[in-house]
Chains A and B, each alone.
Chain A
């Protein structure tokens, strides 16, 4: 099979996403008062409504309606003043009433959009864009068709087959705890042209939802799920090709890899003169391919009709504006502010705001740095903090993007607040680095020690005798000694073998127990050898 890069030279990929998000931060389900809780014993969070018992009636959760309006406002959607719930009828054991309550042609949120800034390797995939080719980066606007409110299904566990698959199972166990969990479904326009754009969109959407506090957005636990619709057409062709629907992309990596595979698979089929069938395919991350689940010969007929047990919704301007006041600073706005206030690069701000925990931590550090600097003392406003903390912003950003994010990734799911790294300690660590008390290599050691030993950076530096030697006289003596011990290498260096500089620096560092200031060592060596 060709690589994605090769395929995209001849073919244009047209991708749309359907993103389901469970509103996990609510207390109760969409249409009943059962508690929302992941991982509880089966069928312990059920009642007449979510078990679909005869005679029960749904009553919508106000907080869920507020959440979807919030999501719509945060993604530039128009909020529809009048909408209704519909029944989507289909028979499957995970949906207790055998119909799902969802919305009809008019959803609460319609016609939104999100801008994506793409750079680096990802930009290279857009061979069609001059901007991407010439500047190595581009901005693209993804249309959001709608976001509608619905309810999740229960869970099936298949028994008697390998790996819990449905195929070959002797029977299945049904747990309705998740049934009727509030779910919002966002549908995009088919505006993505590369898997990377789709991944960036999902990452950014996740940041937005997290900053709104409407979901824990866990792809692993299934509270954030995404299906893709993919079709190919020859470059220059305007007619859309037949699309396949891709499921089970339960991580950003799987989303990316699944789309890449499916694009390449379709290209291979088409180039061999084959036909793409409209079908649902499943991404198998282990086998690294997609497999056909279901052929859609005809459009599914869900016999939608307005849910007679729920009233229509008529949202007033006052209601919508009331929700708007609850909008927090969104990642895009935050990134813009970080860039302006701290003169950070686009790369830095994007990574800082990628996760709420890291952006919040950055802000806490800035505040700590401002307070620690003295300034006007307590009551200093943000402006004072920003000004005094500004010199530390870049090294703080480096620390957070590299070390902190790396630590969080390595310790899956850990909450920064539960670690020994406080904003004050992070600021102290960065100060030790900036004033050259320790080297950047030592800073990494101190960072690890803070987390392991729960001590302040200065204490660790003192205990380990790590303070960097920046005394020029002392360093000069060592440099002279090293050069004297290696006359042949000095001669080679002077003959042009400048690569030996590293050797001399290493020898000096070794002699100083690693505590020599590398900048001064380099300067002195250059002077003496030059």
Chain B
């Protein structure tokens, strides 16, 4: 059976429009493929077979009535959600024991929009617990494997989302990115990972980690698929005060090329300690490709970016500490049985319900917000945010897009990084974007010369100018003939 999840969005839609196959066949093939591959990959925490067939039937009914055009940007596209996105009819576990049995009581806006655009929901994807991590190793349900090398991590926290695309289990997945959680796993798994500007996609219904940093975005095989998916899930939502009313067609510049465009390069990033030689080489190669396409490279300075990691590890944990206070075993969540008083029920339920990394972040945030300490870290971190934002604003007066590394290394082996501080370093090139609220994406640029593993480069755009980085990404993408699906899983075709 053809695995349609290996196809592009447009190929699927063209085939459905031509009635070459039905949405039901798409659902069936995707579900069967997941059944075959997920024992090895473990990207899925839950497969929503019934919901997939229900949706497929709706699409097929619309097609038979000649109403395919009304079905939406993602009609018939097999898609899966990171498991921090509420979807009625599924559990939303955040890969935590705390929420192992939590049934979604409502649906997130991005879920509703994806389904409203006709996507076929395949299920919920593994992640680091509450999105705290860069490898999915903190998942209560066990890690997801990197489809390119199953002894390696897929990255995180949206590791399931990246691995599902790289193993052709889903055509599009949604992830969330607080400090790099879409871009880093996309780079590790060789797929496109798009973190839109803060405010482009509603956060309503997506379990909050760092509320001023979180943003939802798609992971796909191609830049065009990412732009189409973003068209489907973006837009104003009255339920998220931070949602911005922008009406951009993110595909509009995909064919525009980069001739005459100014692209920024940050020398300090290129010289950053820890950036592996092969990763640096990939960024330089991309820069040279962009020049060949007619773009001009401009060196820019982000003088405060070196404080971004510190600011991030203040702001993220502070917001997370407060956001995760709601998990108190009363209304929902793991409740340790047989406690005679509330205090011991709280402590046992949270102590056993949360993994170690979650506990660390909660405790760190609580400490950083406490009296006396607040003025030493939290307040300066918000001031540093002003400086970083201003650095980017000045840079984007000179360039329309910035080219940078995504991650310092390729995917590492399971268990290779046990020190939390080392793990945090894999976010070194991504967190400043979240702090400033810009858009950024990770574009796969082939295998690393030394590791022979997927690599990516990062393209960053000014806030609410996401179409610029998509324009550059689409042009750059044409320079590479790289596999988007890991070889063992690449029987399908990427599309016509």
Give residues in A with beta carbon < 8 Å to B. 48, 51-60, 87, 89, 91, 93, 96-99, 172, 174, 176, 299, 301, 303-305, 308-311
Contact = CB atoms under 8 A, between A and B. Distances in A.
A55 B241 contact: no
Interface stretch (B16-24, B34-42, B200-208): B200-208
B241 A310 contact: yes
A48 B104 CA distance: 10
Contact of A54 (B86, B238, B319, B369): B86
B369 A89 contact: yes
B253 interface: no
Interface in B196-222: 203-208, 210-212
Nearest to A172: B342
Interface residues of B, number: 43
A93 B343 CA distance: 11
Given A57-B203, A308-B319, A48 B326 contact: no
A48 B331 contact: no
B330 A56 contact: no
Given A87-B322, A301-B370, A54 B92 contact: yes
B480 interface: no
A97 B319 CA distance: 13
A55 B325 contact: no
Given A54-B102, A55-B84, A303-B321, 8 more contacts: A53-B106, A53-B331, A54-B94, A98-B326, A172-B342, A303-B322, A309-B241, A311-B242
B241 A93 contact: no
A497 B318 CA distance: 88
Contact of A305 (B205, B242, B318): B318
Closest 8 CB pairs of A and B: A98-B325, A303-B369, A308-B212, A308-B211, A54-B207, A55-B205, A52-B326, A97-B326
B239 A57 contact: yes
B254 to A, nearest CB: 32
Contacts of A96: 326, 331
Interface string B217-255: 000000000000000000000111110000000000000
Contacts of A299: 371
Contacts of B378: 305
Contacts of A174: 330
Contacts of B108: 55
B489 interface: no
Contacts of B331: 51-53, 96, 176
A235 B303 CA distance: 61
A99 B342 CA distance: 17
B99 interface: yes
B326 A59 contact: no
Nearest to B331: A51
A55 B204 contact: yes
A506 to B, nearest CB: 70
B328 interface: yes
A53 B204 CA distance: 11
A93 B318 CA distance: 21
Contact of B325 (A57, A59, A89, A309): A89
Contacts of A91: 325, 328, 346
Contacts of A311: 241-242
B57 to A, nearest CB: 28
Contacts of B48: none
Of B203, B242, B328, most buried by chain A (CB within 10 Å of CB) is: B328
Nearest to B205: A55
Interface in B258-274: none
A53 to B, nearest CB: 6
Interface string B288-328: 00000000000000000000000000000011011001111
Contact of A93 (B211, B325, B342): B342
Contacts of B423: none
Contacts of B328: 91, 93, 98
Given A305-B318, A308-B319, A310-B241, A93 B369 contact: no
A231 to B, nearest CB: 23
Nearest to A305: B369
B106 A54 contact: no
10 contacts: A52-B331, A54-B207, A56-B204, A89-B325, A96-B326, A97-B325, A301-B371, A303-B322, A305-B378, A308-B211
A377 to B, nearest CB: 53
B207 A55 contact: yes
B105 interface: yes
Nearest to B332: A53
Nearest to B238: A59
B366 interface: yes
A87 B365 CA distance: 14
Interface in B85-133: 85-86, 92, 94, 99, 102, 105-106, 108
Contacts of B204: 55-57
A48 B325 contact: no
A57 B210 CA distance: 13
Interface in B48-107: 84-86, 92, 94, 99, 102, 105-106
A55 B242 CA distance: 14
A197 B157 CA distance: 59
B369 A53 contact: no
Interface string B153-188: 000000000000000000000000000000000000
Given A55-B204, A55-B205, A309 B86 contact: no
B330 A99 contact: no
B207 to A, nearest CB: 4
A29 to B, nearest CB: 14
A305 B370 contact: no
Nearest to A48: B106
A390 to B, nearest CB: 55
Given A98-B325, A305-B369, A55 B86 contact: yes
B320 to A, nearest CB: 11
A217 B108 CA distance: 37
B88 to A, nearest CB: 11
A57 B212 CA distance: 12
Contacts of A98: 325-326, 328
A99 B239 CA distance: 19
Residue among B85, B239, B319, B346 with max Cβ neighbours from chain A (10 Å): B239
B370 A303 contact: yes
A59 to B, nearest CB: 6
Output the residue of B105, B210, B326, B330 with the most chain A CB within 10 A: B326
Contacts of A309: 208, 211, 240-242
Nearest to A46: B331
A98 B283 CA distance: 45
A55 to B, nearest CB: 4
